[in-house]
Structure 1
Amino acid sequence: MLINRKTMLLTVAATLSVTSLAACASPTNTSGGSAPNPAPAASAPAAPAPKPELKSLQIWQKDDYNTYPVAKYLEQATGYKVQYDMLPQDKPQDKLNILIASGEPYDAITTTGGTDFKALYADYAKKGALTDLGPLIDKFGPNIKAAIDPAALEAAKVDGKLYAIPTRTIPFAASSLYIREDWLDKVGMKAPTTLDELVAVLKAFKDKDPGGNGDKNIPLTIRGDASFIDNIVGAFGMPGFWNNVNGKLTPRAMDPAYKEYVTFMADLFKQGLLDKEFGANKDATAKEKFTSGRAGMMMLNWSDVPTIADALTKSVPTAKAAFIPTIKGKDGKIGLNATAGFDRITYIPKSSKHAEDAIKWMNAKLEKDTFKTMAIGEENKHYTFKDGAYTPILPIFTDERNQANNFLTGTDDKNYPTYWQARVRKDPRLFDAWNYMNKIQPDNTRVADPLGFAPYLPEFSKSFQQLNTLVGDYTNKLIYGAEPMTGIDNFIQKFKTSGGDASYKEVNDWYATAKK
């Protein structure tokens, strides 16, 4: 309904007149004097703007992030509700590339910190797909600055700018060969310690039928993207993607030991000692072959031991399994690849609608008490602390903090290595596996990734994923017998001209300065 303009003006004028008179009036006190003018009424503080719901993409885990207890705790502690999505377990890089290219509006993306994902991160940053976090952290991230090691933040920079918040890894050897000990007992052998002993054990697994599967026994199974088998490849002096060869960091394809390794593996395949279907195996496929009782050995991460052990004993109640010692090759070569650098990295894509709030959320997670409660829960509810050691209270720690590490977006680097003790003590089998690989086995068996804290290296980052895929595919073909061994020299030249030479020079230019 339209209001008469004259009526409106008269109403406004009258209102102003009343307001003016009220402001001029001076109330009198009991002595007849004028009372002082009262202080103006304080205006009510503006209500804080509601915090937006954030959208976060995480690495794969078996539990739904959204219903996991840590998610609820973080919502209460930070005030931010977050919708969590996951990357797939297999080929997560492919899915991530699609999401980045399509501009999916995630406010935070967390990936593992391995070399392949670091290379993707650098590539995204170079292409302008990520948000420069430096100014946001300066303004909204005091806890981030206080908690995270400055060296880690520096190593995460691309072209001098910080596009990701790094979560440092706890140094340890992660994967090795896991064997059916009851199969060893049945064939009357001990766990192998050399390459020759390994071959002998695999032959016994094939010929003596310890699994009761007849000719369907699989002596060794692996997943298809694991052509370089942890522990075995270390016996050839190549435990990591890059290894020190006569003082130079050298990629496996350019390592003189590469030919020896693929020859050894091809021979295992020819003899039927390596799963004939390994090239098609996904991670879950290889694990199922082992836990169903068909395979006698597999490559396994120690963090998977409880799950694998439970599944195995469900299928074969009398089964026993454990990691084998670190295998020695000729000239005493030995090595398990040990983590160094970043366990994971978290970045904000340019497509985010709430970059400022994403930093505020991650900063709130690094408030000291919030971080500790997120990581290991509440004292005397989730853990006990005695003599400097954190010990989990079971089963509540497993129920409510087993997957807490996947919610990390940066760590309290001074304190987390101590808090972390609770994680490996949450299951005796888990602790035994970790302890065997990282404490019982000699120190020289663990070889830290020399590029763990390398800065952004343009040539290396540009070609790493392509070269890694190139080498993995070719190595599988050599093992299958689909490519002749006589073609290795030609392949190495292709590797070099496809970016291998440029990466080698760049990496070693940096390494020469890092050693000083």
Structure 2
Amino acid sequence: MLKKHNKAMLLTVAACLSISSLVACASKNTTTGGSASPASTAAAIATTAGPKAELRSLQIWQQEDYNTYPVAKFLEEKTGYKVKYDMLPQDKPQDKLNILIASGESYDVITSLGGTEFKALYADYAKKGALVDLGPLIDKFGPNIKSAVDPDALEAAKVDGKLYAIPTKSIPTASTSLYIRQDWLDKVGMKAPTTLDELVAVLKAFKEKDPGGNGDKNIPLTVRGDSPFIDNIVGAFGMPNFWNNVNGKLTPRILDPAYKDYINFAQDLFKQGLIDKEFAANKDATAKEKFTSGRAGIILMNWSDVPVIADALVKNVPTAKATFLPALKGKDGKIGLSANQGFDRISFIPKASKHPEDAIKWMNAKLEKETFKGMAIGEENKHFTFKDGTYTPIQPIFTDERNRANNFLMGSDDKNYPTYWQARVRKDLRLFEAWKFMNVTEANVRVLDPLGFAPYLPDFSKNFQQLNVMVGDYTTKLIFGAEPLSGLDAFQQKFKASGGDASFKEVNDWYATAKK
């Protein structure tokens, strides 16, 4: 999903200077992995005489206080480490993170989100010497880290050949598609569309036959304003992800030959009144309100929203029923649902840490197999039941005590966590069925993000947000007619000159080696 440009992605000059100063100072008063000489790995991990160091951990934002959340107590009991948790703000966490790193705040572990902009910040910190090289520490104190975390993920987290962070992999899922009023389909006597042509026919019926009882106020399809590339529809043009394989080269959508075909299709929907005429101004809540109030027949939606949206819809329209559409086929059989791949979050140790060895020991202890399982989904027959290979949550205690467990992850048991994780979507049968439809029933049409495990790519990372915002804004203007499609060539040249060419070369230089 296209994200808004965040001007705080890059460090300010002042912050950069402060980071450089921090590194010079930190080297005088912090230890690294090379300072210890344990007799063996087992001895290194074993509890030493005296109390363990109290650690400070900076986490991503969540609604509950980490310090009082049940997982914190569980981890303290299992690892022996007492940890004081702070968290980044919900709004502009990058700004706060930059300040804390530059000022030398002595956190022992910092966990940020793992998207492109945060990977860029992390790599910048590493290059400026503000982070601890974790390689020596993991070699001495991290056998669980080595055995649990996917080696490909560890490799992708390296900067200039050195590992400065423990990545927590995303669960590879298709998340967003088109959610349709089944009762509207029933009223117009049609089945769920499976092709673009069938979709157009359904949208026309929704507009002309008034299945919602709203007269000319029916909205056949509504989307958010920051989603001009409509998931599922754009997959039918062979462009499910931001970058897609075109004749062996990873190519951004704006340079894909299919881009013009997609624009023509979306423009036609808009001209016929089949897509929300106000879509460009829609916030997420606006689009959802139009759907749950009974005015819209189809909405672009994440499967995780199903319970809330379904409840709100039925409250307003008691007879309403809704479901996700299957992946739509375009010409030449093109089809695809975008599926995420890469890092959900990354955890690193700043040079200002007072206890880097203990920090690694703590993260390693969290990845001991049974400790990790208990952290992630709790205790069998208390938080979940296990039958026929399936973990089913026990409510309400699972939600009360493990709903935020994923925010405590610093690396995961990548062989088992995808199975454990399914307990989270079984909290509500509607949630599970929505996830299952898009990721099990439709598994063969999911297309993983090809850049998910790409290493830090300087030009790509520097230009990513700016270029995507540029393309998103331009695409929106094309769809509602504020820009003529005849200007596409000129815009493509602007895109290339603004970092698109440099990104294309860098991405494909890496891709050529990754395919071998």
CA change 1:152–1:51 in 2 (3 A) is same
1:98 paired to 2:59: no
**Deviation (angstroms), 1:263:** 2.3
Q: TM-score, normalised to structure 2's length?
A: 0.82
Give the equivalent residue in structure 2 for 1:396.
Answer: 397
CA-based RMSD: 2.7
Give the equivalent residue in structure 2 for 1:509.
Answer: 509
Q: For 1:92-139, what per-residue CA distance to the aligned partner results, in whole angstroms no more than 9, with x for missing partners?
A: 6xx133213323646544444344543444345445554443344445
CA change 1:491–1:353 in 2 (3 A) is farther
- In the alignment, residue 51 of structure 2 is paired with which amino acid? P
CA change 1:65–1:272 in 2 (3 A) is farther
**Deviation (angstroms), 1:245:** 0.7
Q: Secondary structure at the match of 1:311?
A: helix
- In the alignment, residue 100 of structure 2 is paired with which amino acid? G
Q: For 1:258-289, what per-residue CA distance to the aligned partner results, in whole angstroms no more than 9, with x for missing partners?
A: 11112222222233322233333333333333
C-alpha distance in 2 between matches for 1:415 and 1:335 = 27
**Deviation (angstroms), 1:166:** 0.9
Give the equivalent residue in structure 1 for 2:302.
Answer: 301
Alignment of 1:262-301 (within 5 A): 262-301=263-302
Point out the more displaced range, 164-173 or 389-398: 389-398
- In the alignment, residue 59 of structure 2 is paired with which amino acid? L
C-alpha distance in 1 between matches for 2:284 and 2:408 = 23
CA change 1:207–1:55 in 2 (3 A) is farther
Q: Secondary structure at the match of 2:241?
A: coil
C-alpha distance in 1 between matches for 2:401 and 2:97 = 31
Give the equivalent residue in structure 1 for 2:14.
Answer: none
CA change 1:83–1:236 in 2 (3 A) is same
Alignment of 1:244-393 (within 5 A): 244-349=245-350, 358-393=359-394
Checking the alignment, whether the CA contact within 8 Å between 1:119 and 1:465 is kept in structure 2 is no
Alignment of 1:56-71 (within 5 A): 56-58=58-60, 65=66, 67-71=68-72
C-alpha distance in 1 between matches for 2:510 and 2:87 = 37
**Deviation (angstroms), 1:140:** 4.5
Q: Secondary structure at the match of 2:447?
A: strand
Checking the alignment, whether the CA contact within 8 Å between 1:75 and 1:82 is kept in structure 2 is no
Give the equivalent residue in structure 2 for 1:456.
Answer: 456
- In the alignment, residue 183 of structure 1 is paired with which amino acid? W
1:48 paired to 2:26: no
Q: Secondary structure at the match of 2:220?
A: coil
C-alpha distance in 2 between matches for 1:96 and 1:113 = 13
**Deviation (angstroms), 1:411:** 0.2
Point out the more displaced range, 296-305 or 236-245: 296-305
Checking the alignment, whether the CA contact within 8 Å between 2:223 and 2:282 is kept in structure 1 is yes
C-alpha distance in 2 between matches for 1:179 and 1:82 = 46
Q: Secondary structure at the match of 1:297?
A: strand
C-alpha distance in 1 between matches for 2:66 and 2:227 = 28
CA change 1:116–1:101 in 2 (3 A) is closer
C-alpha distance in 2 between matches for 1:345 and 1:74 = 19
C-alpha distance in 1 between matches for 2:300 and 2:128 = 36
Give the equivalent residue in structure 1 for 2:174.
Answer: 173
**Larger Rg computed on CA atoms:** 1
Q: For 1:140-195, what per-residue CA distance to the aligned partner results, in whole angstroms no more than 9, with x for missing partners?
A: 44432332122211111111122321112222322111111122222222211111
Point out the more displaced range, 166-175 or 102-111: 102-111
Checking the alignment, whether the CA contact within 8 Å between 1:100 and 1:349 is kept in structure 2 is no
C-alpha distance in 2 between matches for 1:285 and 1:46 = 59
C-alpha distance in 2 between matches for 1:127 and 1:218 = 52
Checking the alignment, whether the CA contact within 8 Å between 2:287 and 2:299 is kept in structure 1 is yes
C-alpha distance in 2 between matches for 1:62 and 1:317 = 32
**Deviation (angstroms), 1:231:** 0.4
Alignment of 1:401-416 (within 5 A): 401-416=402-417
**Deviation (angstroms), 1:249:** 1.1
Q: For 1:270-329, what per-residue CA distance to the aligned partner results, in whole angstroms no more than 9, with x for missing partners?
A: 333222333333333333332233322222222222222223223322221111010111
Q: Secondary structure at the match of 2:328?
A: coil
Point out the more displaced range, 461-470 or 237-246: 461-470
Q: TM-score, normalised to structure 1's length?
A: 0.82
Checking the alignment, whether the CA contact within 8 Å between 2:170 and 2:340 is kept in structure 1 is yes
The alignment covers a number of residue pairs equal to 464
C-alpha distance in 2 between matches for 1:121 and 1:263 = 40
CA change 1:344–1:294 in 2 (3 A) is farther
C-alpha distance in 1 between matches for 2:429 and 2:64 = 21
Checking the alignment, whether the CA contact within 8 Å between 1:120 and 1:461 is kept in structure 2 is no
CA change 1:510–1:381 in 2 (3 A) is same
